[in-house]
Structure 1
Amino acid sequence: MITILFTAVAVLSLAAAAYWARRRRAHRTAGAGEMCALLIAWALAFVTYTPVLQEAVDSVVPNVSRLLSNSATMTGSTLVLVFLFQLNLEPEVARHRTRIRLALLGVVLVCLIGFFAAEHANPSLTQFYVLYLFVYAGYFAMTVKDFLIQVWKQARSSRRKSQRIGLRIVAAGCVFSLLYAGYKLFVLISLGLGLGLITAHHHCSEQFTVRCTFSVTAPVVSALLIVFGLTLPAVVWPISQYVRKRWEAGSFAALGPLWDDMSTATPEIVLDSTDPDDETNDPDFALHRRVIEINDGVLALHPYRALEVQTAAQGALAALDRQPKHPDAIVEAAVLSAAARAKRNGWEPSWPQAPQAPGTSSREGNLRAETEWLLQVSHAYTHSTVRVAADGLVMADGGSQT
């Protein structure tokens, strides 16, 4: 069971590494190379934690699986920190700290290999294993501490929701890393003081035990959470961009009936375009422009807003047995439709003016809120106004002739 689980996680980590490598070629994402490298390191760590591989390599060199898994874990945790350096720090500072960390990692790896070789040459002595464990646990704890500082800094400055969620997941992964570091410290104290609470060498089988929970499961869960938390924003971002563009393109089309009425009554609101392909190539630009033009039309029709049309539409809504959604938008659609008709017919507005729609001032400057409001009005134009506010529109026709 453990072998299957860890192998599956390693495959997923390699798939995530391939995703980041593709993004780096296409977009030159900051820290993408470091992220790809750390995912590969975590994949190697997962593989070395599998009991099948541990038994295979240990049959050649006793306990060498421990050196392999610890080296991969330290490399992965260091590269996570390097990745956050790329996000949080200025490029020159990030490069300087990265060089220091990678040099320190190299020194630690050399020390671990040396202590492991000495331990292998003198299996009866535990001092070399204690030194090995001291270097490994000390470096890992220091890395987790620095990692938490960088995560906290990034969480405070992040504006994207996916990044905030991802960093919370990363923080949860750090908790499991601390459990793992605490376990290693407990082992170090037991061996260093000769308490005999923990044996020097222990292999986890295919069955989970309490000791394996801290020595294997905790770092694996930590790596999973950290990798997932750091990858989540990169995965969510293109999806959110695709959803946003779909919404912008759909909103642009849905505003067509309202824009047609506004631009026909007040053709001067239509802005000149320097690039005729803007509307097809940039949905954000096209939608922004359409919202501005509609709002300009609403302002131009302000003198033609008839209070009696507004009152009639409100009365028609109140008489319905079942109230429709967005009644304010239906009333506004009736008022704008009547105002556009009056403007097109050349009538001089001599009637009391209807006030602005509720919430007009609160939506100013908010493209999303303004678009959603105009979508409601445009929908009322094509679906609800004829049935709900027909009497008010008729009154507008009659009132314009007085």
Structure 2
Amino acid sequence: MITSLHAFGAVAAWAGLFYKWRSLRQNPADPALLALCAVFTLSGLSFFISLPVVWVRVDDLLGVPNIAALLAQSCVMALLVGQQLVLTYWARPPERARVLARLQLCFGVAAIASLATLFWLLTPTAQRPRDFTLYYVHDPYYIAYLSLYVGAYLIGEINVVRVCWGYSAVAGRTWLRRGLRVTAVGAFITLGYGGIRAGNILGIAFGFDLRHLETVAWLCGDLGSAITLVGWTLPGWGPRVAAAGRWVTAYRRHRRLYPLWAALHEAVPTIALAPARSELADRLAVRQVEFRLYRRVIEIRDGQLALRAHADPEAMAEVTRASHEAGLSGDELRARVEALRIASALRARARGRTVADADRARVGAEGPAFTDLAAETAWLVRVAVVFAALPADASEQADGAARAAASGDGRVPEVG
């Protein structure tokens, strides 16, 4: 499992670097962007070197047992500094940011040099690619090494949580706010790794053992880091994903409205601004989908208005009563009644039947009142789905119900 987590983290990090590479080429002098790309690069290297098979190869190549541990953890130390640089350049004026960035870089260099010194004093001889920390945690030099590493790790990630979550509350752009919060959540999860590593150190002094939490430690560290990397890039690709989602929703609604629109357009051709030549052409129309959907909603409404002269209120009253008796209610009831109203009016128009002006007022508005286009579109989609599923004789049954009621028959035929 740990190997899979490391591999996933490496892929996520380098995918983020690939995504940001174009922006870096366009703005090579942007210090925050440079620091962010360094974070992705170093994160990918730390995960990659930590893979057991790579760990062994690196040790063999350099001739030093467990040198991969120092390299991987030095990458982590450097990327922690890189994260602070990103936040510094985002949050402060350039002059002040440069001063603070120099101090952060000096701290990073000093911390990595200290790690290297303690590693050489430790001189680990047994190659331990899977449990390096647990194997050497009893060595005094490694306790100092791990204390420095964990201390810097926790301080860096806590600062990322604090700053990103705080800035998310005042960020003006929606996706920037979401990205900052995702980054903060990821950094918070990584604190589980730092906390367990701190527990490994404290366990030596207080006589407890956290070996059973080793998988949890790596899960928090790797998964939290991957989520953090997603958060750093989310403001860039999030809006595009949202736009793609809106396109898919608009396209599906546009297609679902087609049967209703086609029936109305056949009866009242003048409602269409630019009608599709066929159902296949309509299906293949993938450009300007949101505008096409907007037009389709308007054209359906125009078609409904044109049919009001043919909508029999008696038939609708009987359909409503029959639908109630069938157990329908709420929007389900209203959608069925409206679909049957349209089917009946289309049939009446085809036969040249109209209703008196006084009866037209009794038909009423089609469907509930709406406050926005999205709600009205969703309603018409519901009606269109019911309309497409109506049996061929549904409108005949509605007309028959009206005639039975008018003649005092008292029987209501089954609807649908």
TM-score interval for Structure 1 and Structure 2 normalised by the shorter chain: 0.5 to 0.7
Q: 1:197 aligns with which of 197, 205, 209?
A: 205
Q: Is the 8 A contact 1:119 1:128 kept in 2?
A: yes
User: Using a 3 Å threshold, how does the CA distance of structure 1 residues 264 and 172 change in structure 2: closer, same or farther?
Assistant: same
Q: Equivalences for 1:42-61 in 2 at 5 Å?
A: 42-50=43-51, 53=55, 56=59, 60=63
Q: Equivalences for 1:19-168 in 2 at 5 Å?
A: 20-21=19-20, 37-50=38-51, 53=55, 56=59, 60=63, 65=68, 67-80=70-83, 93=92, 99=98, 102-116=101-115, 119=118, 137-138=151-152, 140-151=154-165, 153-154=167-168, 167=181
User: Using a 3 Å threshold, how does the CA distance of structure 1 residues 289 and 229 change in structure 2: closer, same or farther?
Assistant: same
Q: Distance in 2 between matches of 1:13 and 1:299?
A: 54
Q: 2:365 aligns with which of 342, 349, 356?
A: 356
Further displaced range: 222-231 or 208-217: 208-217
* Structure 2 residue 291 is the aligned partner of structure 1 residue 290: no
SS in 2 for 1:291: helix
Deviation at 1:117, TM superposition (A): 5.9
The C-alpha deviation readout for 1:24-57, integer Å capped at 9, x for no partner, is 59999x9987665433321212234456627827
Q: Distance in 1 between matches of 2:391 and 2:86?
A: 56
Aligned to 1:333: 339
Matched positions, count: 371
Q: Distance in 2 between matches of 1:321 and 1:263?
A: 32
Q: Distance in 2 between matches of 1:159 and 1:312?
A: 53
User: Using a 3 Å threshold, how does the CA distance of structure 1 residues 83 and 114 change in structure 2: closer, same or farther?
Assistant: closer
Q: Which amino acid aligns with 1:42?
A: S
User: Using a 3 Å threshold, how does the CA distance of structure 1 residues 63 and 253 change in structure 2: closer, same or farther?
Assistant: closer
User: Using a 3 Å threshold, how does the CA distance of structure 1 residues 7 and 141 change in structure 2: closer, same or farther?
Assistant: closer
Q: Distance in 1 between matches of 2:192 and 2:314?
A: 70
Normalised by the length of structure 2, the TM-score is 0.64
Q: 1:365 aligns with which of 368, 372, 385?
A: 372
SS in 1 for 2:205: coil
What is the aligned-residue identity percentage?
Answer: 20
User: Using a 3 Å threshold, how does the CA distance of structure 1 residues 144 and 27 change in structure 2: closer, same or farther?
Assistant: same
Deviation at 1:283, TM superposition (A): 0.9
Unaligned runs of 5+ in 2: 124-139, 276-281, 406-416
User: Using a 3 Å threshold, how does the CA distance of structure 1 residues 211 and 38 change in structure 2: closer, same or farther?
Assistant: same
Q: 1:220 aligns with which of 206, 222, 228?
A: 222
Give me the CA root mean square deviation: 5.4
The C-alpha deviation readout for 1:154-201, integer Å capped at 9, x for no partner, is 3786997998699468525414326516855995xx7xxxx9739xxx
User: Using a 3 Å threshold, how does the CA distance of structure 1 residues 250 and 179 change in structure 2: closer, same or farther?
Assistant: closer
Q: Distance in 1 between matches of 2:12 and 2:84?
A: 17
User: Using a 3 Å threshold, how does the CA distance of structure 1 residues 134 and 251 change in structure 2: closer, same or farther?
Assistant: closer
Q: Distance in 2 between matches of 1:14 and 1:183?
A: 23
Normalised by the length of structure 1, the TM-score is 0.66
Q: Equivalences for 1:237-276 in 2 at 5 Å?
A: 241-242=243-244, 244-263=246-265, 269-271=271-273
User: Using a 3 Å threshold, how does the CA distance of structure 1 residues 121 and 19 change in structure 2: closer, same or farther?
Assistant: closer
Q: Is the 8 A contact 1:116 1:128 kept in 2?
A: no
Q: Which amino acid aligns with 2:191?
A: S
Q: Distance in 2 between matches of 1:310 and 1:23?
A: 61
Unaligned runs of 5+ in 1: 199-207
Q: Distance in 2 between matches of 1:33 and 1:290?
A: 47
Q: Which amino acid aligns with 2:164?
A: Q
Further displaced range: 239-248 or 375-384: 239-248
